[in-house]
Structures are given as structure tokens and as C-alpha cells.
């Protein structure tokens, strides 16, 4: 088979050059038309006119701080004046003794005591007058007519005691002292009893010794949480007055205070021991801190008591307060073989509290 080749002559490229430029021009125009349609009028030609430029000037200013204040509360209404209540006039006091019951003896914590009552001037009384009507006539007759006893005061001595205290069910232990001193027709008694750093009771009695025995002039007593009280025995006025009470009693001689009564009993034992018999009773007018009363000292008998120094026999006397009274009971043991000194004292309150003083050491000055 014979393959025939036909040779065709290609026209020269130079003959097509003008046609190429025409095609490029038409394509460029089409592209511009498409661009203008896409812009959709978004292209704005700048204006040839002059435009006026507006300049705005601003300045920053610091704002003043604002203080928020709360509104003031309205003023309070003026206080209402209290209505004055009509003053009640107390009824006039009826004649008779004002006997105040003494509160329970102090074994309290110290700090809050009532201020002492100002001393009241004693009342002048005629020698034979009885200042109070019945039902106190019989008792005051005894007060104004004390019994006389033959006495012989014991020599000076310093007594030291072991102390036991019961207060509100709790016991405490301590020490106490009683100093009895006689000199130049006078006497002084000082005493105290305490536990730890507390002094439950302190007292002082001063006076003279005359034909009736111990004759007090002033008695001072201080207890826990209580102010000191004074009892005055005015010889020139023949009255007994109290700093803690307005009561006044006629003085006839032989009256005692709470400290001197122990030594008056010792003086009676030394002067007339026949007065001490089981079941016997010794009546002595005793002035306390607010009033005076006749103490009926009952002689129980001789008892053997136990002390630190050993056993000792002593006369046991008891002062029982009258029924309904808040006064204390007093038990005294006097030892005849030791100049009738008190070797044991027991103060018992109505609520059961007590103060027990038992002799631990005795310094007698009988040979002075």
C-alpha cells in the first residue's frame, strides 16, 4: 500500500497580526463593561469644585466628683414629762421599840456592803422611866434591872484558835485570835477570825472594870460584806445607842456587848463558881449591833472537849435566841483550870452556817 503525503503550505503569521489586536481590543472592552456593571455606580469621580473643610475643636474637662449624702434623720420627739405621782405621807410611828432583825451573820465574799447608818444622838431618859409600852414591858424591866454578880476578872492573856467555818455547805479552815488585856482599872478586847485571805469577823471592846465586873464603853464589830458598826454605852447619859439603829436603851449598869459577855461570864465563874451548876441560868443584858436583849445563858454542865493540846474539862454554856429571832446561837466553853478562859466558841446561824473557834495556844500573863 502506498501512503500518499500532501504537503500544505502554512500561511505566514505576519498576515494574521492585525486580527489579533482586534480580538484583544474587543476582550478589553467586554471586561470594562463587566467591571462597571459590578460596581453598580459605587465608583464616584472626585469633584473638581473646591470643598470647604470644617474643623471641630473639642476639649476634655474633668467632671467634679459627686458626693452622695444620706438624708439626716428627723429629730427625736421631745421627751414626755413624767407625771408626778402624789406623795404619800407615811403614818406617824407608834411608840414602842424598833427592833430590827439582824441579817444572817456574814460569811459572804467581800465587795458589796451597805453603808453605815449615821450615828444617832442618844435619847435622854429619866432615871426610872420605861420608854416602851407592853408587850415589851416585862422584857424591858429585866433590861433595866440587871442582876448583880460577884465577879473576879481573869488576868490578861493572848488566845489563839483554830477556826472552822461552814458556809452554804462548804467548809473552810483558818485561824483566830482573842487578846484580853486589863490595866489601870480598864480593859481592852480585840479579836478576829478568818480563813485563807478572808476575815470573817473582827471586833473590839473597850471599857472599865468596876464593882459589877466588865463595863464596856464602846464596842465595834466588822463582818464580811458589812460595814463596821459601833455600840455606845454612855455613862453620863445612862443610855445605850447604836450606829446601825435608832433604838436607844436606858443603861443601869452590868450591860455587856458581844465580846465582853464572854469575859463577864469568866469573871462570874472566878468570883462565884456556885453560879455554875447543870441546869442553872445566868441572865445578862447584852447590846448587839442594833438593839439590846437579855441573854439567858443556860449552863449545860462540865464537858470534856478535844483540843490540839489534848483533852480538857470545861463548863458548857449556851445562849439560845428567842423563837422567831434571826440572831445567832452562841456556845461557850470555859476552863476553870485555866483561869476560866474561853477555850472554845461556836457561833451558829439560823440557816445552819457556823463559825467554830477551838483554842490552839494560850499565853497567860497572870504572873505579870
Three-state DSSP at 137 gives helix
**Above 70 in pLDDT, residue 302?**
yes
Q: How many domains does the chain have?
A: 1
- Residue 5: inside a domain: no
Higher pLDDT, 56 or 315: 315
Grid cell in block for residue 267: 469573871
- φ, ψ of residue 35 in degrees (nearest 5): -65, -40
Asked whether residue 17 is assigned to any structural domain, the reply reads no
CB atoms within 10 A of CB 347: 20
Please name the helix (run of DSSP H) or strand (run of DSSP E) that holds residue 33, with its range, or none. Answer: helix 17-39
Q: With cut-offs at 50, 70 and 90, classify the pLDDT of residue 99.
A: very low
Nearest to 136 by CA among 255, 249, 246, 243: 249
- Counting runs of H as helices and runs of E as strands, what totals does the chain give? 3, 15
Q: Rounded distance, CA 53 to CA 56, Å?
A: 10
Cβ proximity of 120 and 232 under 8 Å: no
Half-sphere exposure of 154 (CA within 13 A, CB side): 29
pLDDT single digits (tens) 70-82: 555 666 666 665 5
Within-domain flag for 131: no
Whose cell is 463559825? That residue is 355
Compute how many other C-beta atoms are within 10 angstroms of the C-beta atom of residue 161. Answer: 26
Residue 285 CB neighbour total at 10 angstroms: 23
pLDDT digits (tens, 9 = 90+) for 266-291: 999 999 999 999 999 999 999 999 99
Domain span holding position 323: 147-364
Higher pLDDT residue, 143 or 4?
A: 143
Of the pLDDT bands very low, low, confident and very high (cuts 50, 70, 90), residue 17 is low
Distances (CA, A) of 113 to 110, 117, 120, 320, 353: 8, 12, 20, 28, 19
Measured between alpha carbons, how far is 277 from 299 in angstroms, rounded to an integer? Answer: 6
Helix (H, G, I), strand (E, B) or coil at 335: strand
Tell me: the pLDDT tens digits for 142-184? 465 567 899 999 999 999 999 999 988 889 999 999 999 999 9
Q: Is residue 285 part of a domain?
A: yes
Which of the residue ranges 59-73, 166-180, 208-222 would you say has the lowest mean pLDDT?
A: 59-73
265's grid cell:
461570864
Asked whether residue 336 is domain-assigned, the answer is yes
> What's the CATH number where 237 sits?
2.50.20
- How far apart are alpha carbons 39 and 33 in whole angstroms? 10
DSSP state string for 282-299: EEEEEE-SS-EEEEEEEE
- In a domain? residue 27: no
Q: Look at residue 333 and tell me if it is in a domain.
A: yes
Q: Which residue has the cell 487578846?
A: 179
Q: Is the pLDDT of residue 34 over 90?
A: no
Local structure of residue 42 (DSSP, 8 states): -
Asked if the structure places residue 52 within a domain, the reply is no
Distance of CA 215 to the CA centre of its chain: 37
Q: Answer for the pair 113, 226: CB distance below 8 angstroms, yes or no.
A: yes
Q: Which backbone phi and psi does 255 adopt, to 5 degrees?
A: -70, 150
- Residue 147 grid coordinates: 442582876
> Which has the minimum average pLDDT: 30-44, 315-329, 331-345?
30-44
Amino acid at each position: 500500500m502506498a501512503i500518499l503525503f500532501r504537503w500544505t503550505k502554512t500561511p505566514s503569521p505576519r498576515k494574521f497580526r492585525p486580527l489579533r489586536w482586534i480580538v484583544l481590543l474587543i476582550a478589553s472592552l467586554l471586561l470594562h463593561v463587566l467591571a462597571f456593571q459590578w460596581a453598580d455606580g459605587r465608583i464616584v469621580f472626585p469633584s473638581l469644585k473646591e470643598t470647604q473643610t470644617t474643623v471641630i475643636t473639642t476639649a476634655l474637662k474633668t467632671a467634679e466628683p459627686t458626693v452622695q449624702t444620706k438624708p439626716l434623720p428627723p429629730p427625736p420627739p421631745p421627751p414626755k414629762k413624767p407625771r408626778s405621782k402624789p406623795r404619800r405621807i407615811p403614818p406617824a410611828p407608834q411608840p414602842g421599840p424598833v427592833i430590827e432583825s439582824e441579817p444572817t451573820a456574814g460569811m459572804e465574799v467581800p465587795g458589796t456592803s451597805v453603808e453605815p447608818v449615821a450615828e444617832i444622838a442618844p435619847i435622854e431618859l429619866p432615871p426610872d422611866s420605861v420608854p416602851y409600852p407592853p408587850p415589851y414591858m416585862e422584857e424591858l424591866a429585866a433590861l433595866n434591872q440587871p442582876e448583880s454578880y460577884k465577879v473576879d476578872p481573869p488576868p490578861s492573856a493572848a488566845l489563839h484558835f483554830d477556826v472552822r467555818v461552814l458556809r452554804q455547805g462548804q467548809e473552810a479552815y483558818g485561824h483566830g485570835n482573842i487578846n484580853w488585856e486589863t490595866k489601870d482599872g480598864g480593859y481592852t478586847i480585840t479579836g478576829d477570825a478568818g480563813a485563807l485571805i478572808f476575815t470573817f469577823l473582827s471586833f473590839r471592846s473597850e471599857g472599865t472594870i468596876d464593882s459589877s465586873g466588865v463595863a464596856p464603853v464602846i464596842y465595834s464589830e466588822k463582818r464580811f460584806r458589812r460595814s463596821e458598826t459601833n455600840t455606845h454605852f454612855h455613862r453620863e447619859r445612862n443610855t445605850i445607842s447604836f450606829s446601825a439603829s435608832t433604838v436607844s436603851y436606858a443603861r443601869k449598869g452590868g450591860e455587856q456587848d458581844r465580846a465582853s459577855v464572854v469575859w463577864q461570864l469568866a469573871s462570874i465563874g472566878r468570883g462565884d463558881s456556885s453560879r455554875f451548876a447543870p441546869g442553872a441560868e445566868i441572865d445578862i443584858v447584852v447590846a448587839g449591833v442594833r438593839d439590846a436583849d437579855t441573854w439567858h445563858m443556860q449552863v449545860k454542865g462540865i464537858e470534856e472537849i478535844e483540843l490540839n493540846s489534848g483533852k480538857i474539862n470545861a463548863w458548857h454554856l449556851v445562849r439560845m435566841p428567842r423563837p422567831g429571832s434571826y440572831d445567832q446561837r452562841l456556845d461557850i466553853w470555859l476552863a476553870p483550870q485555866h483561869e476560866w478562859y474561853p477555850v472554845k466558841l461556836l457561833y451558829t446561824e439560823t440557816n445552819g452556817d457556823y463559825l467554830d473557834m477551838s483554842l490552839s495556844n494560850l499565853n497567860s500573863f497572870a504572873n505579870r
